[in-house]
Structure 1
Amino acid sequence: PAVDEAAVISKKNRSDRPVIKAFVKLNPGSEPSARTTRALQDFVRANLSPDTPLEEVEYLDELPKTRTGRILRRVLRASELGLATRDPSRLMDVSEVSQRECDLLVKYGTIVDGTGKPGFTGHLAVRDGRILSVQPAGPDHRDNWKAREVVDAIGLVVAPGFIDGHSYADFLLPGDDHPTRLSSLLEQGVTTIVGGHGGFSPAPWPANAGHLHSMIEGLEALAQGPWPLKGEGIEAYFRFLEEKGLAVNLVQLVGHATLHWSLRGADYGDPGPEGLAVMESVVEQAIDAGAFGLSLGLGWEPGLFARIEEIDRLARTVLKRGALLAARPRALARISPAYRWGPFGEAHNLKALRELLALAQRTGVRLQISPLHFVGRKTWATQGQALDLIEAALKRGADVAFDAVPFPCSSEPVLAAYPPWFLEDQAERWGNSRAMIRLGIQWALILWGAGLRPRDVLLSWGGVPELERYEGLSLAELARDMACSPRAAFIRLTRESRGRAICLIRAVNGDESYEEALRGVLTHPQSTLGTGVFMLARGSGNPASLGAFPRFIRRYVRETGLLTMEEAVGKMTGQTARRVGLHDRGAIAPGQAADLVLFDPGGIRDQAGRPSGIREVFINGERVVSEGRAIEGKKAGRVLRRPA
């Protein structure tokens, strides 16, 4: 770049009017350019004075050391002006003697900004919910800020708020008690959730939806409480949430299952051109209203029955809007209910992955595999092949990434274990003894083929009061309690819960003695982080709901050293923000939203309850966690709309 360094001077002219002037020292042989002037103007507007423009730029051989009547002097490197890339800790020498006002000043923290760049000791100022200034600390720094609140962050990492890239917590947001139920997310540093995964979203329901009653029943099961809405478009739903207030920021995906059930109920046949046109129109309207994309749950009904033409048409609709397609594969285990089983065929999870990668290649859509799991001990060995398939797709030009969860377990609805032939006519199958025998045999083959044991499947939530006493028990324990086989116990859970029960599956990507598959997905450059949990008001929950992000840092930064702090924070913040299309979150920089988490890098860890090491959390500049505890009833979040 032409610029070696520049000094920005603020002072008052003879009319006592504030003016800003810049002096620029060029590299030898370089000439003044309009690009340099624009960069200086942008810097002044974003960092120093949005109201007072830069009036003059003067090019000198050496920068002036002092100025009569100086209010502010700031020496800038070319990198800070966006004209080069250097170590942020060496960008500037700051000597400021004026006072500027801000709402929050965080001082002397180690700023890890979410971009992957090296962390540096510095200060950041926040005003009106946005980051106003970021300054590396130096010997010449003086406290020139007049702040309503000052936080001393010595010894703490200051990072962008963590983004839960795979969340089902959006179903709780309409409830009055959601700040309490989501406190465990806040206390692990989460400031934004990406909801609508697996094909399930609280909205939109088209105005002509003919299956609202069954939809509301399903939503109340997921929310574990009354559902306050009776059918809304996405814009009306967003307004409803904004009026109630949110404990976290929301990025909403549109769920394919929600569209299907509201329009067609349990009709899993071909929707035909007319039905597809209606679905395309609803998806387009939702994205135009601010949804960030579409989610498919191909391993669950109704997505399990979706035909290639339907998936392609919807993917191309998403592509036209430049949005994201998040897709759950049809299978996550070596043997699954989704495909016919054969002793010499390709592992089902690899077959399902090929289907999604081919979709991305064929349509050009931006694809998020959501999630990339390897369920069962006999599936772990396929991890290397799966990552090779993804790498090959990337080399061919596909735009592919995937969600990962830093625990060796997964939350799954009980019906995820049932094959399509059973689900397409459940009412008849439940009463058919031959069908039940066939189901039992197939289910035993799936457990064996995946390498799962009855003790690996736990009942998290029974879905009905009658099953509460079994919550937290494994299938092995349930079988003993019910005096039947594990297979019969699972079928009984399904029938008595009316298909609503949620199970915790262990041996996902590894276990206590084997971590290679989990390490492989978490440290891969294309992975982003999420919890992947159903937030339960009662029952035995997924440990990721309490400590996914602290565990990720503890295990993969501090204990194993597989990632640097900057890499880990980037996966939890900036990388996720860029993937979903968030432009003003996920980084610490002037103009970004002030979603911040302050944590002790040596003390952060997941525990049985509240994690340790997370000190303070801010959402849009408001404190929501103080000394590790969520502030009761705080609603600082916002509905984040995708830019048109």
Structure 2
Amino acid sequence: MIPLDYPRMRHLAFRSLVIVALALSGRGGAVPAAQSPGSWVITGAQIADGTGGPLRAASVRVVGDTIVSVGDAAPQAGDQVVDGRGLVLAPGFIDVHNHSTDGLAGDRAAATQVAQGITTVIVGPDGSSPPDIGAYLAARRAAPATVNVGTMVGHATVRTQVMGDDYRRVARPDEVARMAALVDAGMKAGALGLSSGLEYVIGSYAATDELVELARVAARHHGVYISHIRDEADAVMAAVKETIAIGERAGIPAQITHIKLGTVGVWGKAAEVVALVEAARARGVDVTADAYPYLAWQSNLKVLVPNKQYKDPASVKEALDDVGGGRNIQFTRLTRYPQYQGKRLSEAAAAEGISEVDFFIRIADDEVGIIGHTMAEPDLKAFYQQPWVMVASDGGVNNNHPRGAGTFPRVLGRLVREQGWLTLPEAIRKMTSFPADRLGLADRGRIAPGKKADLVLFDAATIADRSTFESPRDLPTGVRAVWVNGTPVWQDGQVTAARPGRGLAR
């Protein structure tokens, strides 16, 4: 059951938010990034403090960028007041898998992120990170966005730095040592852990021992290992076992990112994956996962063919059959055939008058982005109901999958309110304290004195995603206000002028 009556008293809270924003800005607009946010109190809201505990009515007082009290205290002289009656106040959402690495430089407003209630994004996923972690974080601090930013150090990035184009083989010991030095430098510069993308071309050639050695380096810096595992289809069980082994051998917390069963042949086997993880956790291996609330994934065309024989008709046919045919593959980027962007592979092949296999082979050497509609809802539900699975988007600014603009409201609106998969407090925990603890962000993820004032105020009765596969950047509804480091970044249905985000490190 969802532990909340959903009152619809929204107009007073909305009006007070506008008044507060005007008062804080002093000029009928949003708070400039350089201006102190002052002191303010949210009263009357139901607090979801991030721990998973029950909602409770309390006032939250903020001074500068920090929460100073949570309870019944009345506002003090000079405090601005936000009326939160009928709304839920939660810690800002932390997206542990976000593809805004480059996008934040050009879109510092990040509307698709803050409109969801996201206040911190973790970039550098899937093994691909900025090559110079220190320089990247310095750039984000020099030109801040609306959101805080942390980054992983990417396995594929350091592998390319060491091996160049000669990566289609197992690395030599001296090369692994050089990669380890780069991981060490990245962690010292502020990375939160090591990411890998073992299903992608560069990472796929790495031996497990290579990953263990690099993960050991991250472990010495108290980092986490987050992996797009080697296979999310027919060989998923072996891939899960490998990730567990890397975590166990390296002595590092390990996370299976965007956990899924992505082909028809493994539908219904979530219980087997859960059993593998539960057995590892029972013997003391620190293994967790994250998931997005959609039945479709986004990647490049080549991931469909595990044996990398992209021009072999038999291999391509087997790959397409494994995902239920070309009707389940939708193009998001197709430069040579822009008329088919948004269309299915089956539609493009029919329009060209050739088979699906032949069209795949024709475009195999192009840069082709796809969405695979190849997952089953019972598996998604089974994963989301595990206490060790957190929420993450695998999206980001300017993303062509609806998860980039809709993940967190979709969980709260569809999975919590409509389908009852999770209680509201548990869903909030999966978005806040759980990822904060996983990443070592000790001052984020909870509503408690001394924590940073990253906060989201939302209407639990109306919060919902609006992004679709046809219109993936439509903004959600129901999020009333978002604060980052004590400064409002989302109000009145739009981004403010403030850019208070920070570059975060351990």
Alignment partner for residue 341 of structure 2, among 462, 471, 474?
A: 471
Moved more, 479-488 or 572-581: 479-488
Q: Deviations over 1:11-56 (max 9, x none)?
A: xxxxxxxxxxxxxxxxxxxxxxxxxxxxxxxxxxxxxxxxxxxxxx
Pairwise CA RMSD: 1.8
- The Cα shift of 1:165 comes to 1.5
Contact in 2 for aligned 1:179/1:634 (Cα 8 Å)? no
% identical aligned pairs: 32
Query: What is the SS of the residue equivalent to 2:86?
Result: coil
Supply the distance in 2 between the matched residues of 1:451 and 1:239 (Cα, whole angstroms): 42
- The Cα shift of 1:638 comes to 0.7
Contact in 2 for aligned 1:178/1:247 (Cα 8 Å)? no
Query: What is the SS of the residue equivalent to 1:179?
Result: coil
Q: Which residue of 2 aligns with 1:460?
A: 332
**Any unmatched runs of 5+ in structure 1?**
1-100, 205-232, 335-347, 423-434
- The Cα shift of 1:487 comes to 2.0
- The Cα shift of 1:421 comes to 5.0
Question: Are 1:384 and 2:271 an aligned pair?
Answer: yes
Q: Which residue of 1 aligns with 2:369?
A: 502
Supply the distance in 2 between the matched residues of 1:307 and 1:178 (Cα, whole angstroms): 37
Alignment partner for residue 614 of structure 1, among 479, 485, 502?
A: 479
Supply the distance in 1 between the matched residues of 2:352 and 2:40 (Cα, whole angstroms): 58
- The Cα shift of 1:376 comes to 2.4
Supply the distance in 1 between the matched residues of 2:323 and 2:340 (Cα, whole angstroms): 24
Alignment partner for residue 253 of structure 1, among 147, 152, 157?
A: 152
Q: Deviations over 1:527-561 (max 9, x none)?
A: 01111126447xxx211112111110112221222
* Residue identity matched to 2:326: P
Question: Are 1:197 and 2:125 an aligned pair?
Answer: yes
- The Cα shift of 1:179 comes to 2.5
- The Cα shift of 1:594 comes to 0.7
Q: Which residue of 1 aligns with 2:6?
A: none
Question: Are 1:146 and 2:69 an aligned pair?
Answer: no
- The Cα shift of 1:251 comes to 1.5
Alignment partner for residue 492 of structure 1, among 345, 352, 362?
A: 362
* Residue identity matched to 2:374: A
Question: Are 1:629 and 2:498 an aligned pair?
Answer: no
Taking a change above 3 Å as real, the CA distance of residues 131 and 143 of structure 1, as seen in their structure-2 partners, is closer
Taking a change above 3 Å as real, the CA distance of residues 490 and 535 of structure 1, as seen in their structure-2 partners, is farther
Q: Deviations over 1:368-400 (max 9, x none)?
A: 111211112332222111111111111111110
Alignment partner for residue 111 of structure 1, among 47, 50, 64?
A: 47
Taking a change above 3 Å as real, the CA distance of residues 533 and 482 of structure 1, as seen in their structure-2 partners, is farther
* Residue identity matched to 1:123: S
Q: Which residue of 2 aligns with 1:400?
A: 287
Contact in 2 for aligned 1:410/1:532 (Cα 8 Å)? no
Q: Deviations over 1:422-442 (max 9, x none)?
A: 4xxxxxxxxxxxx83xx2211
- The Cα shift of 1:145 comes to 4.4
Query: What is the SS of the residue equivalent to 1:169?
Result: coil
Taking a change above 3 Å as real, the CA distance of residues 132 and 383 of structure 1, as seen in their structure-2 partners, is same
Q: Which residue of 2 aligns with 1:483?
A: 353
Supply the distance in 2 between the matched residues of 1:130 and 1:354 (Cα, whole angstroms): 41
Query: What is the SS of the residue equivalent to 1:623?
Result: strand
Query: What is the SS of the residue equivalent to 1:198?
Result: coil
Q: Which residue of 2 aligns with 1:125?
A: 61
Contact in 1 for aligned 2:396/2:405 (Cα 8 Å)? no
Taking a change above 3 Å as real, the CA distance of residues 142 and 417 of structure 1, as seen in their structure-2 partners, is closer
Q: Which residue of 2 aligns with 1:529?
A: 391
Q: Which residue of 1 aligns with 2:409?
A: 550
Bigger CA radius of gyration: 1
- The Cα shift of 1:247 comes to 2.6
Taking a change above 3 Å as real, the CA distance of residues 579 and 153 of structure 1, as seen in their structure-2 partners, is same
* Residue identity matched to 1:183: A
Contact in 2 for aligned 1:293/1:325 (Cα 8 Å)? yes
- The Cα shift of 1:627 comes to 2.5
Alignment partner for residue 139 of structure 2, among 206, 219, 240?
A: 240
Question: Are 1:441 and 2:369 an aligned pair?
Answer: no
Supply the distance in 2 between the matched residues of 1:362 and 1:281 (Cα, whole angstroms): 19
- The Cα shift of 1:142 comes to 4.0
- The Cα shift of 1:246 comes to 2.1
TM-score w.r.t. length of structure 2: 0.88
* Residue identity matched to 2:385: T
Alignment partner for residue 165 of structure 1, among 89, 93, 96?
A: 96
- The Cα shift of 1:278 comes to 1.2
- The Cα shift of 1:492 comes to 2.9
Supply the distance in 2 between the matched residues of 1:460 and 1:421 (Cα, whole angstroms): 21
Query: What is the SS of the residue equivalent to 2:435?
Result: helix
Supply the distance in 1 between the matched residues of 2:75 and 2:397 (Cα, whole angstroms): 43
Supply the distance in 1 between the matched residues of 2:301 and 2:247 (Cα, whole angstroms): 29
- The Cα shift of 1:408 comes to 0.9
Q: Which residue of 2 aligns with 1:25?
A: none
* Residue identity matched to 1:179: R
Contact in 1 for aligned 2:107/2:397 (Cα 8 Å)? no
Supply the distance in 2 between the matched residues of 1:568 and 1:532 (Cα, whole angstroms): 17
Supply the distance in 2 between the matched residues of 1:494 and 1:533 (Cα, whole angstroms): 24
Q: Which residue of 2 aligns with 1:38?
A: none
Q: Deviations over 1:326-372 (max 9, x none)?
A: 111111012xxxxxxxxxxxxx1111111112222233221011121
Supply the distance in 2 between the matched residues of 1:321 and 1:245 (Cα, whole angstroms): 26
Q: Deviations over 1:53-99 (max 9, x none)?
A: xxxxxxxxxxxxxxxxxxxxxxxxxxxxxxxxxxxxxxxxxxxxxxx
Q: Which residue of 2 aligns with 1:640?
A: 504
Alignment partner for residue 259 of structure 2, among 367, 372, 385?
A: 372
Contact in 2 for aligned 1:256/1:295 (Cα 8 Å)? yes
Supply the distance in 2 between the matched residues of 1:311 and 1:185 (Cα, whole angstroms): 31
Alignment partner for residue 290 of structure 1, among 190, 194, 215?
A: 190
Q: Deviations over 1:561-615 (max 9, x none)?
A: 2321110100011111111111111111111111111000111111242211111
Query: What is the SS of the residue equivalent to 1:302?
Result: helix
* Residue identity matched to 1:460: T
* Residue identity matched to 1:248: V
Q: Which residue of 1 aligns with 2:107?
A: 178
Q: Which residue of 2 aligns with 1:315?
A: 215
Query: What is the SS of the residue equivalent to 1:385?
Result: helix
- The Cα shift of 1:420 comes to 4.9
Q: Which residue of 2 aligns with 1:221?
A: none
Taking a change above 3 Å as real, the CA distance of residues 567 and 392 of structure 1, as seen in their structure-2 partners, is same
Supply the distance in 1 between the matched residues of 2:52 and 2:77 (Cα, whole angstroms): 28
Corresponding residue pairs, total: 463
Taking a change above 3 Å as real, the CA distance of residues 536 and 265 of structure 1, as seen in their structure-2 partners, is farther
Supply the distance in 2 between the matched residues of 1:109 and 1:504 (Cα, whole angstroms): 39
Contact in 2 for aligned 1:379/1:451 (Cα 8 Å)? no
Q: Which residue of 2 aligns with 1:267?
A: 166
Query: What is the SS of the residue equivalent to 1:402?
Result: strand
- The Cα shift of 1:114 comes to 0.3
- The Cα shift of 1:409 comes to 1.1
* Residue identity matched to 2:128: F
Taking a change above 3 Å as real, the CA distance of residues 562 and 420 of structure 1, as seen in their structure-2 partners, is closer
Supply the distance in 2 between the matched residues of 1:575 and 1:243 (Cα, whole angstroms): 29
- The Cα shift of 1:418 comes to 3.6
- The Cα shift of 1:102 comes to 4.9
Contact in 1 for aligned 2:304/2:320 (Cα 8 Å)? no
Supply the distance in 1 between the matched residues of 2:216 and 2:358 (Cα, whole angstroms): 43
Q: Deviations over 1:299-348 (max 9, x none)?
A: 001110001221121121122222101111111012xxxxxxxxxxxxx1
Contact in 2 for aligned 1:305/1:420 (Cα 8 Å)? no
Where does 1:285-364 land on structure 2 (aligned, <5 Å)?
A: 285-334=185-234, 348-364=235-251
Where does 1:51-130 land on structure 2 (aligned, <5 Å)?
A: 102-130=38-66
* Residue identity matched to 1:455: R
